[in-house]
Amino acid sequence: MSQQSTPQTPAAALVEGAVSEHRTWFIVLGIVLILLGIVAIVFPLMSTIAVKIMVGWLFLIGGIVQIIHAFSTQKWSSFFLNLLVGILYVVAGGWLAFFPLTGIITLTIFLAAFFIVQGILEFGMAFRMRPQSGWGWMLFSGIIALLLGILIFAGLPGTALWAIGLLVGINLLSSGIAYLFLGMFAGRQA
């Protein structure tokens, strides 16, 4: 019995072509994300601290650039506000980067919001890729990200020390599986 496939939209055909052309990179990305996810799950407190320090450095660098920008455009009417925003970024970034166990609850709230947004975006990606083989894995990853965001909020404040690292690990693992299967199924008919 022959299996009929649903005709693809031009956008879906374009996505499938891109995935097929770069399937090795999708597989490599999937494997790397899976390995990082396993490490984060095995060492949740260290992963929590690592994520917090990384976010701190991003804020710190962003604040320094903002301050340099403020001084390079001193005649701009918003110089003082621009400078204050840069200082705020530097202070927040320094606090997150150099005091490893402080600010974890704030970061936990930020991470929960990130996972919820990621879940929504992966839903969109999955439905845009449909009916390409492997689109369901992207949908699954979006569901996982959304659930993780909700779980982070529900566990506050008690689970903040281990939840970030564990949930980042689960998220990395589910995204890795999605990309691995996208690469593995690239070029196959639905």
SS3 at position 159: coil
Predicted pLDDT at 147: 92
Q: Which two tokens stand for residue 173?
A: 């693992």
DSSP run (H or E) holding 184: helix 160-185
Position of tokens 């990309």? 179
Q: Name, in order, each residue with C-beta under 8 angstroms of 108's C-beta and a sequence gap of 6 or more.
A: 152, 156, 157, 160, 163, 164
> Cβ distance 63 to 87 under 8 Å?
yes
- Whole-number average pLDDT of the chain: 83
Identify the CA nearest to 157 among candidates 101, 105, 99: 105
Cα separation, 79 vs 134, in Å, equals 50
114-164 tens-digit pLDDT: 888 988 898 888 888 777 777 888 889 889 989 988 888 888 887 787 877
Cβ count within 10 A of residue 8: 16
45-103 tens-digit pLDDT: 889 888 889 888 999 999 999 899 888 887 766 778 878 888 988 998 898 888 877 77
